[in-house]
Amino acid sequence: MPEQITPLSILYLLLHGAGTAVSFVLFLYLLLCRGKAIAPDITPPAQLRRWAAALFAIMAMTHIWWILFYTYSSDTNSVIYGLLVAIDCMALPPVFVGTLLTMLQDRRRPLWPIVVVMTPCAVIAVLQTALPSIDLTTPNKVYGLVLIVAFIIYMMVAVRQYGRWLRDNYADLEHKEVWLSLTLLIGLMLLLISYEYTDNYVMCTIAHLLGFPQAGLLLWRVETLKDLSTDSLTPHLAPSDACLNKAPSPKGEASHIGQLLAKHCEDTQLYLQTDLTLPQLSAAVGVNRYYLSQYFASQDTSYYEYIHDLRISHFVARYRELAAAHEPIGAQQLAYESGYHSYSTFSTAFKHRMHKSVTTWMLEER
3-state secondary structure of 177: coil
The closest alpha carbon to 112, from 84, 87, 132, 93, belongs to: 93
E strands, 51-175, where? none
- How far, CA to CA in Å, does 331 sit from each of 313, 324, 357, 362? 14, 15, 12, 9
Residue 255 amino acid letter: S
Q: How many Å apart are CA 137 and CA 126, to the nearest integer?
A: 11
Structure confidence at residue 2 (pLDDT): 45
Structure confidence at residue 176 (pLDDT): 59
Q: How many Å apart are CA 64 and CA 58, to the nearest integer?
A: 10
The closest alpha carbon to 72, from 87, 60, 84, belongs to: 84
Q: How many Å apart are CA 227 and CA 271, to the nearest integer?
A: 20
Structure confidence at residue 240 (pLDDT): 39
pTM above 0.75, yes or no: no
Residue 61, judged by CB atoms within 10 A of its CB (0-12, 13-18, 19+), counts as middle
Count of CA atoms in the C-beta half-sphere (13 A) of 260: 25
Q: How many Å apart are CA 314 and CA 337, to the nearest integer?
A: 9
Structure confidence at residue 51 (pLDDT): 92
Q: How many Å apart are CA 235 and CA 280, to the nearest integer?
A: 8
Structure confidence at residue 21 (pLDDT): 93
3-state secondary structure of 277: strand
**In the 8-state DSSP scheme, what is residue 263?**
I
Q: How many Å apart are CA 279 and CA 287, to the nearest integer?
A: 10
Q: How many Å apart are CA 153 and CA 95, to the nearest integer?
A: 19
The closest alpha carbon to 1, from 135, 201, 138, 202, belongs to: 201
Per-residue pLDDT of the chain (366 residues; tens, 9 = 90+): 445 567 777 777 888 888 899 999 999 999 888 767 777 777 788 888 999 999 999 989 988 888 888 778 777 777 788 888 888 888 888 888 888 888 888 667 788 888 898 888 888 888 877 877 777 778 887 888 888 888 888 888 888 888 777 777 777 765 556 677 667 767 777 666 666 666 666 777 777 787 888 888 888 888 888 777 654 433 333 433 444 444 444 555 667 888 888 888 989 999 998 878 888 888 888 888 888 888 888 888 888 889 999 999 999 999 999 888 888 888 899 999 999 888 888 888 899 889 999 999 988 887
Structure confidence at residue 199 (pLDDT): 61
